[in-house]
Structure 1
Amino acid sequence: MATVGSCSGHEEEDVLLDGHAYIGNKPNHTTAVDFTRNFERLVASFWRAPPPLPSTLYVYSPDISDPAAFSEAPRIIRMVRGFILFRVVIRSRHRFCIPMEDFDYFVYNVHGRALYRITNPAPLSFHDDVVGLLPRPFRTSARCSVAALVPTPNPSVFALHVFHSDIGRWASTQVVLKDPQQDFPIKIPRNARRLLSHYPSTVITIGGEGGTMGWVDLWRGILLCDILSPDPVLRGVPLPLPRVLFKPDGEISSDHFGCPKPFRRITFINRPDGRPCLRFVDLDVSCTRLPDEDESGRPSFWFDSWSVITWSNFKMSNSFDDWKNDCMPVHADIIILKEQMRMQLLEYKLLRKKPSQDSKSVSTNAERKLENLWVSQPTPSMLPPNIVYLIARAEFMHPKAYVLAVDMIKREVHGVTEFGTMRELAPDIICIPGSVSPA
């Protein structure tokens, strides 16, 4: 299978990109410049760090003296093999719920030092979750395609909106689900009927001659589409079933199927052996709502346990059987926490004391266990394939986030580091996985 990776001919390395760019001037060998719609210069620079350390995108304008002119922190939408799609908004009249037409969208080629503003899609309207990025095989430019797939009232028909940088405008067409994903192998309970409809929550890029992209409903499956085809259609690929469907107590609530991104994630990987594959990770958690609230008035929770499992898929056909477990589920209570890692977690105040039942004092336990740590947003590593990254916080919705690297084979904490501080209220994604060529 020809893939995106075959375009560059360069080995790629993992990065974890902060989901919001920083506003500041930090030029380096990747720095590139373009103009906003109002002809203000916009400068982008990428600073790479090896995971679990965060890589960072810096954005600033020498024509804007007041950083507050940026109405919100620039948001990274997608990163694919050294290409970054992000949006900025400057001097919006809207303080909240900024409309799509106020944003400037840019594609930044880290390797080629190229920055390109793409046409705003308005009056089209769609969420960042359904927008994907397809780099094109020109290393020294920002040539690319951007595509969004939007559901229609007909569950077998979707609206496909595509922007090609060499054409310079958006085009829309309706695409039909020609090959629906395989039926579920079990009966779906009434409270889990959310699984019967496809609502994309992220997009993966596979590439190849047809420009294959996949719109992923992380609870359900993938809709693959060759966006460069003159007559694109959709075909389904199922995902592993949510583990909550197999709970021994049989208690399933519709609350289990809210936003999937805190619990599930998928990546497409070009392996060194030439075999492309999908890697999927699922985080299963058990938590208890505490009777009090934290100092900010938010609800308070206690994590009782969590476990992680990963799958790989080398065939990418319409079959649940294509997914193979990489290893047995790794439960937090059996993960090895060496003394150096434990001390690091204590320094970050991640292993704090456990609240008592009346929430007015803490128990006599000196520290909480790893299985009681608040974790979310599992991310499978591209290389090495045995690492899963988890966002860790001292408590629910705490603004400061850390990354925990778990070795799924050795079943131990491989590393932990501070990732950043939340700059937007309740962001659904804190880190964006991606890859770049070695410096």
Structure 2
Amino acid sequence: MDGFTPCLAPPSLPTAEEGSDLTPSSVLLDMEAYITAAAVSNATTAVGYMRTGKPIHITFYLAHPPRLSYLCAHFPGPAAANSLHPGAPAARCIKNPPIVISTHADLALLHITHPAARDLGNDKYHDYFVYTARPWGPSLHRLPYPHANAGFQDNEVAIFRCSGGGRYVIAALRNTCDTRKFRLQRYDSDTCRWTSTVLYVHAPVRDIVLPIPDTATQLIYHNTDKVIMLGGPRATIGWVDLWRGILLCDVLDQDKPRLRDVPLLKPSRAYRRYFCIGGPRPARDIAVVTTSPVNKVIKYIEMEIRPGEDLPPPRQSACDSDSDDDAPPHCHHLDHVITNWFVEGLQKDCKVDVTDILVKNQRQLQQPMLLPQLTTTDDPQNLTMRLRRLYAAHPTLGLADHGDLVIYFLSKANIMDNKGWVMAVGAMDKMLRGIAELDSRKNKHWMMETQVLCTIGKLLRKWRILIKADKQEGLDNRSSMRILQKKSLATSAPASSSGASPRR
């Protein structure tokens, strides 16, 4: 059964003896699930049922960043009778693994494709589930599928937990044939039904501030790359086109919601020739950061990549495998610039260049997962040169346990390698916070966006309770960049984090 996702034993995660708590305040989540042939279980395991009646088990495993946390999916029993391979083991017949497409508070929204699906383009082979973390046991609830012709892309949808109860809403903003006209699909847990509303952009301004150039390959007014949650009593959600701007909508507005256009800044000088050409995600990210219980800011980041110097030819001696001379023939110089975006005007926050990155603890560079070129030496200039030899992409904004802003990005020694790393750098102190190796079995060629990171906040606080109870019962618990900051329009919601939405 070629073409199916193989069952993989998930990687082992650190244990308590390594000196750290296994329940961090936030995690980086590999949004694509591992498919396991046998059932795995811990306190986060929940069981749901697809529309075929077949079960699915979902289990989360947590790790401190920059290690990726991950989820495991198990499909017990045979594939459905109307599938491509009826009677075959369902776990061996997965075309597209389950993915987490949005998170908020104690919720995670999952997209699950049926095992041995005959037609991946047919809606009947796809289900959406809401995973809820609860102290008395997590749940996995299947949503009714949106009505005909109302489907959406995974990067267009977000889930939002309303304050003061168990209510949540799911919202997806879809493009239409009219570039200024959109369709808002909403699911309300109170009514258990989907609704559809046609919306127009109120006072569109991005065509004036950021007109589409003649060289562009993206010609539509708005193309959603990511969805962010600002919160508030009206559940303000932003659909982000990382090239041009944000469409904000109060999805719980009692009257007809409106789309408000918030343009982003022009690309840095080095990226202007690439403006609206291809996808912006490898170089840009945006996130909502909670600075206090009543205040949030939108932070925006751009990774500027400049060609570095030519490298010397490789040495012939095999004993020089750890040498700088063995670096790939092309290198990129990362320039990180961080700027705060306020309503009153623009203000730079900080700038991080690869030559500024500091190492406080040499132990960070002695982990077995590192490339030979990253082995620590006594010469700090040598460390800088080795960092410059890495290809880097997909910057992601997050918060450390103490609330410090951290930049995570994916890196490789060669963009066609399966081997890659997640690197974490403090945005303000410019300290190297850590390096973690990606799973080469999933990290295919290029810089895979399925490995792009996603932060989870409040969900983890409930998982702490679950995992603590799990341990007590003796169960198994394996466990340049520019940032722009804008004051949030929603200030009355509890602290929340933004979920990431990968493309399918």
2:392 aligned partner, one-letter code: V
Q: Relative to 1, partners in 2 of residues 1:382 and 1:407: Cα closer, same or farther, differing over 3 Å?
A: closer
Amino acid at match of 1:17: L
- Superposed CA deviations along residues 64-115 of structure 1, whole A, max 9, x for unmatched, are 55411333221121122231111122233448x5444421111111246121
C-alpha deviation, 1:43, in angstroms: 2.1
- Would you say 1:59 and 2:73 are equivalent positions? yes
TM-score by length of 1: 0.79
Match of 2:59 among 40, 45, 56: 45
Amino acid of the structure 2 residue aligned with 1:270: T
List runs of 5+ in structure 2 lacking aligned partners: 1-23, 79-88, 311-327, 376-381, 465-504
TM-score of the superposition, structure 2-length normalised? 0.69
Identity value in percent: 28
Query: 122, 145, 167: which is aligned to 1:120?
Result: 145
Q: Distance in 1 between matches of 2:191 and 2:102?
A: 21
Kindly state the Cα deviation for residue 218 of structure 1 after the two structures are TM-superposed.
0.7
Query: Where in structure 1 are there 5+ consecutive unaligned residues?
Result: 1-11, 291-299, 316-320, 353-364
Q: Are the structure 2 counterparts of residues 402 and 197 from structure 1 closer, same or farther at C-alpha, using a change threshold of 3 Å?
A: same
| Pairing of 1:245-324 with structure 2 (within 5 A) | 246-247=269-270, 252-253=273-274, 257-272=277-292, 274-286=294-306, 302-313=330-341, 315=343, 322-324=345-347
* Partner deviation per Cα, 1:321-344 (whole Å, 9 max, x = no partner): 55543212x111232246444444
**C-alpha separation in 1, matches of 2:443 and 2:272:** 34
Structure 2 distance, partners of 1:189, 1:345, is 47
CA pair 191-129 structure 1, distance change in 2 beyond 3 A? same
1:201 to partner: Cα distance: 0.7
Structure 2 equivalent of residue 5 of structure 1: none
How far apart, in 2, do the equivalents of 1:91 and 1:186 lie?
44
Q: Counterparts of 1:57 and 1:197 in 2: how far apart (Å)?
A: 35
State how far apart, in whole Å, the 2-side matches of 1:404 and 1:115 are: 32
Partner Cα distance (1:176, 1:18) in 2? 35
Equivalent residue for 1:105?
Answer: 128
The answer on whether the counterparts of 2:206 and 2:245 sit within 8 Å (CA) in structure 1 is no
Per-residue deviation, 1:222: 0.5
What is the match of residue 92 of structure 1? 116
2:386 alignment partner, one of 369, 387, 391: 369
Residue in 2 aligned with 1:134? 160
The answer (yes or no) to whether the contact 1:48–1:56 under 8 Å persists in 2 is yes
**Match in the other structure for 2:502:** none
- Tell me how far 1:150 sits from its aligned partner: 1.5
Conserved 8 A contact 1:101-1:123: no
What residue in structure 1 maps to residue 356 of structure 2? Answer: 334
Aligned counterpart, 1:295: none
Please tell me the residue identity of whatever aligns with 1:234.
L
Indicate conservation of the 8 Å contact 1:379/1:433, yes or no: no
SS of the equivalent of 1:420 reads coil
Match of 1:408 among 408, 412, 427: 427
Matches within 5 A, 1:18-37: 18-24=30-36, 25-37=39-51
Question: 1:208 pairs with 229, 232, 235, which one?
Answer: 232
How many equivalent pairs are there?
393
Distance, in Å, in 2 between the alignment partners of 1:102 and 1:70 is: 11
Partner of 1:357: none
Q: Which amino acid aligns with 1:378?
A: P
Higher relative contact order (CA 8 A, sep 6+): 2
User: In the alignment, which residue of structure 1 is the partner of 2:415?
Assistant: 396
More strand by share: 1
1:239 is matched with which residue?
A: 264
Post-superposition shift, 1:217? 0.3
CA-based RMSD of the aligned residues comes to 3.3
1:135 to partner: Cα distance: 2.0
Query: Residue 196 and residue 286 in structure 1: after superposition, are their counterparts in 2 closer, same or farther (change >3 A)?
Result: farther
